[in-house]
Amino acid sequence: MIISPRSSSTRTLVVISLSLSVILLLTGTGVATARWIIAAITTVPVTAGELTTEVTGTVGLDALDISNDQYTTPATLTFYNSSTVSVHYTWEFSFSSGTLDPATIALTVWEPTGTSCPTTVPDTGTFAGTLAAPPSLPATAISGQSGMVVCAATRFLGSIAEVAGGSLTTTPTVTADLTTGTWTATVSGDSFTHTIASDPLSP
Amino acid sequence: MTSWSSHLIKTSVILAAVVTLAISVTGGTYALWHAQVSLPGAVITAGHASLNIDGPYGLGSEQLYPGQTASAPFAVTNTGTVPLALRVDSLTGPDEQAPLDQQDFTRSLTVHIWAHTGEGCTTAPSELGWSGAVGSFSEKLVIVVDKGMTQPMCLAATLDTQAPATVQGVSLDLQLTVGGVQQ
């Protein structure tokens, strides 16, 4: 068969037209493009923890006739972390009544070797400060649901004669915090009072 | 008319004549056998896609602190008749009318979802899983659940290390929607 150039181009046109028709037909039907989609819902409860702490034993710092030559009998303070994560402790003091200068009352703290405090202040391993500028508490991180025992003793730093009969009532505030973030828990301990003996010669 | 067209017409006419002649000369009759039967009780049922989520259990009893992650298992069962590819359609929390502490808590959470590999849900979330903040949508999981099968899953929530202190003690419910796309 002799194929003229014109008949060849006509066949090409026919083939292209048929191809386009098939493509358009398949595209237009949209066959096999539909899919089922289903969904199910559930509730996810979430709860944030909360820092909580307790402090006991501060009332043991009550001191009648505090002297400037020896410490009071050490008191046993317990800081209990009732949260479920480790915390660090800091503290500060507020003063509700009395005339004594908080800066004249020395405060020394330390961790006992056992669970109770000795009867005297040890020579080493203590942290010293005053009620105006409290000493740091031991830096140990206290695990959740556990406590830390700290011994504390006070001593007057000024002249007894100048403040005879004076007193100062102090309330400790303890703060537990995490090593990161801004979460804290604050609790107040029992107040304690220091008194200076009255001058026996005063009228 | 071109010679090619003319040739084509001639060829077609000849072919038609040959076919007609062949049919004619075979003779005989053309009666066809015909029979009909009905199939009793034939029922055609369409398939369906269906998902069921069981859990997560115990997540609410775990308290989250900054930087901590609480996790719990749950299960997704394909109760339909086609395989389904899972995806996280949505994860939503309290709306804008909720108390601020709940909104703060929601913003401080990141949720992880992954296939349970038998290692327990306390292990690090799989890279093949999904992680996102509350409010995220339509993220694929690389998990396909065959029809009738149950896929054990893990869900974990992590509280940001800088979560504000106002969220302490806050509890709330998130709504997780898991989608299944027919495969």
Alpha helices in B65-142 (DSSP H): 100-107
In the block, which residue shows the tokens 């997560």? B56
| A47 contacts in chain B (CB < 8 Å) | 60-64, 170-171
Gap from A177 CA to chain B (nearest CA, Å): 11
What pLDDT, on the 0 to 100 scale, is given for residue B31?
58
What pTM did the predictor assign? Answer: 0.73
Residue A1 confidence class, pLDDT cut points 50, 70, 90: very low
What pLDDT, on the 0 to 100 scale, is given for residue B39?
59
* Backbone torsions φ then ψ of A39, nearest 5 degrees: -140, 150
pLDDT for A161-203, tens place per residue? 889 999 999 999 999 999 888 999 999 999 999 999 887 666 5
What pLDDT, on the 0 to 100 scale, is given for residue B136?
73
What pLDDT, on the 0 to 100 scale, is given for residue A35?
85
Residue B163 confidence class, pLDDT cut points 50, 70, 90: very high
For chain B, what is the mean pLDDT?
83
Instruction: State what percent of residues in chain B have pLDDT above 70.
Output: 74
Q: How far apart are CA B55 and CA B68, in angstroms?
A: 21
Could A84 and B171 be called an inter-chain contact, meaning their C-beta atoms sit closer than 8 Å?
no
List Cα–Cα distances, B61 to A48, B3, B56, B97, B178, in angstroms.
Answer: 10, 91, 11, 25, 23
Residue B169 structure tokens: 């003690």
**pLDDT at B135 > cutoff 90:** no
Please return the burial class of B150, using the count of CB atoms within 10 Å of its CB with bins 0-12, 13-18 and 19+: middle
What pLDDT, on the 0 to 100 scale, is given for residue A2?
43
Question: Are the beta carbons of A141 and A88 closer than 8 angstroms?
Answer: yes
**pLDDT at B133 > cutoff 80:** yes
For residues A70 and A24, the model is more confident at A70
Could B178 and A84 be called an inter-chain contact, meaning their C-beta atoms sit closer than 8 Å?
no
Nearest to A48 among B111, B168, B180 (CB): B168
Instruction: State what percent of residues in chain A have pLDDT above 90.
Output: 67
SS3 B144: strand
pLDDT for B24-48, tens place per residue? 555 445 556 667 766 567 677 788 8
Could A36 and B49 be called an inter-chain contact, meaning their C-beta atoms sit closer than 8 Å?
yes
pLDDT for A117-128, tens place per residue? 999 999 999 999
Residues of chain A in Cβ contact (below 8 Å) with chain B? 3-4, 6-7, 10, 35-51, 83-85, 178, 180-184
pLDDT for A46-66, tens place per residue? 999 999 999 999 999 999 888
Residue B130 confidence class, pLDDT cut points 50, 70, 90: confident
Gap from A135 CA to chain B (nearest CA, Å): 26
Residue A5 confidence class, pLDDT cut points 50, 70, 90: very low
Nearest to A46 among B48, B60, B169 (CB): B60
pLDDT for A96-105, tens place per residue? 999 999 999 9
Question: Are the beta carbons of B121 and B72 closer than 8 angstroms?
Answer: yes
- ipTM exceeding the 0.85 mark: no
What pLDDT, on the 0 to 100 scale, is given for residue B22?
53
